[in-house]
């Protein structure tokens, strides 16, 4: 299993550096939560990992691969699954078609839906022929996660996956993320505002402010003082 390694990472939109000198490591199967107030660079960090900003500098490696030299599709084929804010499912496609889209990032050529996805998200089996645009927000989020899992990733990157989701589905999504990490061995990078869930689920955390890492540590070191100083609004 590959390790992700970032050192002195800068990322730009136009000429403006949004990330400034960010460093972190993600060991195989580790769960990292990325925390911070709105607008501090959390989403930009995830987009940087996927190659979706204008320009980057520094070092970002995944195993033996230099990610900064690779396109977004090439990064996906290395086994990095990404669920962005807004989910970005294709509303005209059925649930089945949306999930099958994820399989095209596989390198083994397999184009079938993994059965465990329906065990994890039973509603998707019930709605397999329904158009993605007809699902509720929470169901679309489950679909977006299933689509990313269909590519058989090594790392899953999630940007606030429970934001705006109805409460009865939030718990299902949180439990699924924990299971994927602890039972399936998936590395997780999670941007999250829910501090109690970050404490429960993650091995380590980092806090961003104005594009820089201002605090990092083990999840049990995420104290109320840190939350008060860097995360409350």
Helices (H) and strands (E) in the chain, counts: 9, 10
Name residues whose C-beta falls within 8 Å of residue 189's C-beta, 6 or more positions apart in sequence. Answer: 26, 32, 34, 46, 49, 155, 156, 157, 158
Name residues whose C-beta falls within 8 Å of residue 123's C-beta, 6 or more positions apart in sequence. Answer: 139, 142
pLDDT at 232: 80
pLDDT at 200: 94
pLDDT at 233: 66
- Sort strands 31-35 and 187-191 into parallel, antiparallel or unpaired: parallel
What pTM value is reported for the model?
0.95
DSSP H or E segment with residue 7: strand 4-13
41 close to 210: Cβ distance less than 8 angstroms: yes
* Domain boundaries of the chain, sorted by first residue: 4-230
Per-residue pLDDT 10s for the chain (233 aa) are: 789 999 999 999 999 999 999 999 999 999 999 999 999 999 999 999 999 999 999 999 999 999 999 999 999 999 999 999 988 899 999 999 999 999 999 989 899 999 999 999 999 999 999 999 999 999 999 999 999 999 999 999 999 999 989 888 999 999 999 999 999 999 999 999 889 999 999 999 999 999 999 999 999 999 999 888 888 86
pLDDT at 87: 80
pLDDT at 197: 93
pLDDT at 179: 96
CA pair distance 231, 137, nearest whole angstrom: 26
Residue with tokens 């979706």: 52
- What is the CATH superfamily name and number for domain 4-230? P-loop containing nucleotide triphosphate hydrolases (3.40.50.300)
Between vectors from CA 202 to CA 196 and to CA 23, what angle results, nearest 5°? Answer: 115
């Amino acid at each position: 299993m590959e390790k992700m390694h970032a050192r002195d990472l800068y990322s730009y939109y136009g000429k403006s550096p949004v990330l400034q000198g960010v460093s972190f490591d993600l060991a195989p199967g580790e769960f990292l939560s990325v925390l911070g107030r709105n607008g501090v660079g959390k989403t930009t960090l995830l987009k940087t990992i996927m190659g979706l900003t204008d320009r980057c500098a520094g070092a970002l490696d995944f195993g033996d691969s230099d990610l900064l030299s690779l396109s977004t599709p090439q990064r996906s084929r290395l086994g990095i699954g990404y669920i962005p804010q807004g989910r970005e499912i294709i509303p005209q496609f059925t649930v089945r078609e949306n999930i099958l889209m994820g399989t095209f990032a596989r390198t083994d050529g397999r184009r079938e839906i993994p059965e465990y996805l329906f065990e994890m998200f039973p509603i998707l089996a019930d709605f397999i022929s329904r158009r993605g645009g007809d699902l509720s927000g929470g169901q679309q989020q489950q679909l977006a996660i299933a689509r990313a899992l269909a590519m058989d990733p090594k790392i899953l990157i999630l940007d606030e996956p429970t934001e705006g989701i109805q409460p009865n589905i939030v718990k299902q999504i949180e439990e699924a993320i924990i299971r994927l990490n602890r039972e399936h061995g998936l590395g997780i990078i999670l941007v999250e505002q829910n501090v109690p869930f970050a404490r429960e689920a993650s091995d380590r955390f980092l806090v961003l402010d104005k594009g820089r890492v201002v605090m990092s540590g083990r999840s049990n070191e995420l104290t109320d003082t840190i939350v008060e100083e860097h995360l409350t609004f």
